[in-house]
Amino acid sequence: MINVAIIGASGYTGVELARILCNHPQVRLTAATSRQYAGQPLAQVFPNLRQKTALLCENLSIDELCERADFFFTAVPHKTAMDIVPKLLSAGKKVVDLSADFRLRVVAVYEEWYQQHSSPELIPEAVYGLPELYRDKIKTSRLVANPGCYPTSIILGLAPLLRAGIIDPATIIADSKSGTSGAGRAAAVGSLFCEVADGFRPYKVGGAHRHLPEIEQEINVFLSEPVRISFTPHLLPISRGILSTIYARLQPGVQEEEIAQLYETAYAQEPFVRVLPGNSFPATQFVRGSNFCDLGFKIDQRTGRIIVMSAIDNIVKGAAGQAVQNMNLVCGFAETTGLESAPFFP
């Protein structure tokens, strides 16, 4: 049993962390910070948590936080995270950081897409928290950089193909669609119900989304020559879920059984990746509320392309659930602890 704190509990990632952790048998949730809601019960801010936690939202200093907990989830915006994390580590704590601050391994890339990095010395030790690729490193890490939601969906979809060298990586196009919780809980006109409901739209088109360098970083791990890919995010009128439709040119002559075998080999032992049978395609409504990533694929024989489809719940496998999975690995708990619930449908 460990004491755990959520720094930044008032967003959608924060409430989902609290929801998962309040039923986690090896964890005691001992602090939840929020400037905006300081003094209010967390279960008043998020009434779904009534009777599940008596925790108050608090505005705590790092010193106070360090007295409260040994493991931290930093669910704060980038920039804020890189100011907090070094202090937690100095105090001997372990951290899963859900911001972007420690995901990119090259400082210059981070600084090109975000801003100056104030703790570049920590970047080499931060582990990119995708357990399907970095499980062993995560287990011995004290700082896990929890992946972005879009990158999680895209990298899990492509990894078996890249590893096998069976697609032309320069032809990769990821057309991704995300639920609105990905935009966060900030009061913004563009996220209002009436602006989003009954509609659909792309945004940050043409290589403008900050998840792009993260996706490319992980793709290029598999390649001798780095590539650039196309990535287009879209906003879905749903709360939870990401579906990525990924296109790439396939080596001529490859058959579906061969591809199926690659996915099987990669993921048969993975507790949270479900490879669908042939001609079955994933849907966000079948991973909702769960830590699963559902994968399907199809070869388009007419054009020589493969289409890979990947579905996750962006708040779970794309954020809070994967963070808890990482905590389980770091702390030596069974990896699925607290994450066993089946997706709910409908």
Which residues 300-319 are close enough to bind a second copy by CB under 8 A? 300-303, 305, 307, 309, 311, 315
- For a second copy, which residue of 30, 40, 239, 251 counts as binding (CB under 8 A)? 239
Q: How far is the CB of 145 from a second copy (least distance, A)?
A: 23
**Which is closer to a second copy, CB of 146 or CB of 180?**
180
- Residue 247 touching a second copy (CB under 8 A): yes
Helix H or strand E segment including 35: none
Q: Is 331 a catalytic residue?
A: no
Residue 116 φ/ψ, nearest 5 degrees: -60, 140
Q: How far is the CB of 170 from a second copy (least distance, A)?
A: 8
Stretch 167-196: interaction string toward a second copy, x if CB under 8 A = ------x-x-x--xx---x-xxx-xxxxxx
- Residue 131 touching a second copy (CB under 8 A): no
DSSP annotation of 183 reads G
Q: How many residues does the chain have?
A: 346
- Residue 252 touching a second copy (CB under 8 A): no
Q: How far is the CB of 293 from a second copy (least distance, A)?
A: 12
Q: Are strands 273-275 and 293-300 parallel, antiparallel or unpaired?
A: parallel
Q: CA-based angle 130:131:132, to the nearest 5?
A: 95
**Which is closer to a second copy, CB of 70 or CB of 270?**
270
**Which is closer to a second copy, CB of 80 or CB of 230?**
230
- Residue 323 touching a second copy (CB under 8 A): no
Q: Are strands 143-145 and 127-128 parallel, antiparallel or unpaired?
A: parallel
DSSP annotation of 311 reads E
- Residue 206 touching a second copy (CB under 8 A): yes
Nearest CA to 212 among 285, 296, 114? 114
Stretch 272-291: interaction string toward a second copy, x if CB under 8 A = --x-x---xxxxxxxxxxx-
State the Cα–Cα distance between residues 329 and 75, nearest whole angstrom: 19
DSSP annotation of 146 reads P
DSSP annotation of 189 reads G
Total residues in contact with a second copy, by rule CB under 8 A: 86
Q: How far is the CB of 250 from a second copy (least distance, A)?
A: 11
- Residue 203 touching a second copy (CB under 8 A): yes
Burial 23-34 (b: 16+ CB within 10 A, else e): ebeebebbbbbb
Bridge partners of residue 308, in order along the sequence: 246, 297
- Residue 109 touching a second copy (CB under 8 A): no
- Residue 201 touching a second copy (CB under 8 A): yes
Q: How far is the CB of 340 from a second copy (least distance, A)?
A: 6
Residues 33-72 interacting with a second copy (rule: CB under 8 A): 46-52
- For a second copy, which residue of 234, 251, 260, 331 counts as binding (CB under 8 A)? 234
Q: Are 133 and 298 in contact (CB under 8 A)?
A: no
Q: How far is the CB of 127 from a second copy (least distance, A)?
A: 26
Count other Cβ atoms within 10 Å, centred on residue 106.
12
Count other Cβ atoms within 10 Å, centred on residue 322.
28
* Active-site pick, 22, 57, 66, 149: 149
Residues 5-24 interacting with a second copy (rule: CB under 8 A): 12, 15-16, 19, 22-23
State the Cα–Cα distance between residues 156 and 199, nearest whole angstrom: 28
**Which is closer to a second copy, CB of 127 or CB of 212?**
212
Q: Are 12 and 185 in contact (CB under 8 A)?
A: yes
State the Cα–Cα distance between residues 250 and 148, nearest whole angstrom: 27
- Residue 245 touching a second copy (CB under 8 A): yes
- Residue 154 touching a second copy (CB under 8 A): no
- Which residues are designated catalytic? 149
